[in-house]
Copies of this chain bind each other. A is one copy, B any other.
Amino acid sequence: MNAISKPTINWSTRRDEKRRRMGSVSSIVNGKIIPTQQINTALESLIKSGDKVVLEGNNQKQADFLSRSLSTINPDVVNHLHMIMPSVGRPEHLDLFENGIARKLDFSFSGQQSLRIGQLMEDGLLEVGAIHTYIELYARLYVDLTPSVALLAGFKADRAGNIYTGPSTEDTPALVEATTFRDGIVIVQVNEIVDDVTDLPRVDIPASWVDYIVQADQPFFIEPLFTRDPRLITDVHVLMGMMAIRGIYERHNVQSLNHGIGFNTAAIELLLPTYGEALGLKGKICRNWTLNPHPTLIPAIESGWVESVHCFGTELGMENYVAARSDVFFTGQDGSMRSNRAFCQLAGQYAVDMFIGSTLQVDGDGNSSTVTRGRLAGFGGAPNMGHDPGGRRHSSPAWLDMRSDDHLLTKGRKLVVQMVETFQNSTSPTLVEELDALAMARDYKMPLAPVMIYASDVTHVLTEEGIAYLYKAESLEQRRAMIAAVAGVTPIGLKRDPEVTANLRAAGLVAYPEDLGIRRSDATRDLLAAKSIAELQDWSDGLYQPPAKFRSW
């Protein structure tokens, strides 16, 4: 080594800087507690221009006291922040950019804010780093997007800084670990501060990972995003649900699964205790689940179908029900749910047989996207659930059933089912010639179209017309014909050749309801185990407490 000169390097710049910043707020903090009224002053001292700041906007819970505060600090003091956000869900998330405090954004999902992101980009006020899936964004926190500051949310803290997140633990562990273990500053807003750790129901995040806590001016914002009112489930959904159970779940022996959040899959959940039971399938399929605690799963749970459910996050109203069903759900010593999006994503990726979900557009090859023009909606978790994980090595019957031959080098596959009605409404076909995502990529000069699930990963397309068993396709041409065979009167469907379709049905590559022994006339809402939110509550013995907006009584 003698020939090589070693540069002189300070190896603890991050730690030194953290100490310096913490020193600068020593006069306003009380131990780890930032007084509520001092939050802006504290943020202006603890955050520096250009910092990478991770802000907990989850799928549901929002560190909204901290985001509201941050959006009102002085942009002359702090600016050019690089925001890292799993979910961009609130107006103040973008006020940060409009007000000149933040400049760059790496994110996963943006619901209602997606249009405004595009506008801010056009106005030159916001630069997008990349759009990720949730787990991909967490991953980058450990590689090239390590935050200097994390702004997080929990239910309660003790004065030492131990955090009780409540049932909505969600992203917090993944975000806090990347920050605290690389000398970043962790600030957690809580609804309540208690004196001692013994006053906390349980500890979700230990005090030694937390630098500051602050009591929020009001409890953090949380939304019931995964509640589907059974009244909106149609006879068509029921027909599709019956096909799914008969033609996919039963046929491939699906044991473990993840459901999307549409009415289609809600219908399946409500058909298990009726149609599924009549088929004699209870205890034979659908035993282990990875999904949020959907209220529409209650009848299946109560009927004894469900052995376990691990959750990404929680769902408002389901708290008491989950706590009373501890054999099924993952709960803490306090009895309430412990969710964890990172681990649930892992579970849904590597340990389940099937993902089934809906989407807005599918092209003739089978690529799909929820992107529509001008809206940078992001990816969320669907691309992780909806692909065949190349790093999987264990087998299951359903996984092996996807093999094209039994050569020892031929792997099984995860079942990835796209379950869509052929039309979104009378004028918008779901099956389209080209995804809007491509126009979006051209408009925003993105290197790739924002595709949610790629055709090569999709094993089945299920519409109200039938099921295309795409994993059996022997050519791209055959695959297209199979999709067309179930595409109804969409532009894709109108191209089909009736003779080809007949051959596909005869060969078992496509199945229509009658091919599965399902009479369309049987497919009515009468088959649903619950037809309203009130009936879900009945099933739960009153434990499920639906939020006001879902109550009609």
Contact = CB atoms under 8 A, between A and B. Distances in A.
Interface stretch (A33-41, A119-127, A328-336): A328-336
A13 B304 CA distance: 14
A299 B139 contact: no
A438 B208 CA distance: 49
Interface in A394-446: 394-395, 400, 406, 408-412, 437-438, 441-442, 446
A205 B173 CA distance: 12
B332 A412 contact: no
Nearest to A8: B304
Interface stretch (A58-66, A232-240, A261-269, A343-351): A343-351
A4 B529 contact: yes
A451 interface: yes
Chain A contact-residue range equals 35 or more
Contacts of A178: 343
A207 to B, nearest CB: 7
A328 to B, nearest CB: 7
A463 B103 CA distance: 45
Given A1-B535, A408-B449, A449-B409, A310 B142 contact: yes
Contacts of A512: none
Contact of A448 (B273, B333, B411): B411
A342 B325 CA distance: 28
A393 B11 CA distance: 33
Contacts of A132: 393-394
Contacts of A7: 303-304
A409 to B, nearest CB: 6
Nearest to A344: B142
A447 interface: yes
Interface string A240-275: 000000000000000110000000000000000110
Contacts of A408: 437-438, 441-442, 446, 448-449
A498 interface: no
Most buried by B among A4, A180, A256, A277: A4
B395 A130 contact: yes
Q: How many copies does the complex hold?
A: 2
A394 B136 contact: yes
Contacts of A530: 1
A207 B158 CA distance: 14
A220 interface: no
B395 A447 contact: yes
Nearest to A289: B143
Nearest to A131: B393
B391 A324 contact: no
A491 interface: no
A10 B136 CA distance: 39
Given A144-B308, A351-B143, A392 B136 contact: yes
Contact of A1 (B202, B208, B389, B529): B529
A326 B11 contact: yes
B203 A346 contact: no
A184 B302 CA distance: 23
5 contacts: A136-B393, A140-B350, A177-B343, A178-B343, A409-B454
- Please provide the 10 A-B residue pairs with the shortest distance between their CB atoms, ordered closest to farther: A387-B390, A130-B394, A139-B350, A384-B391, A139-B351, A142-B347, A203-B206, A143-B351, A408-B449, A181-B330
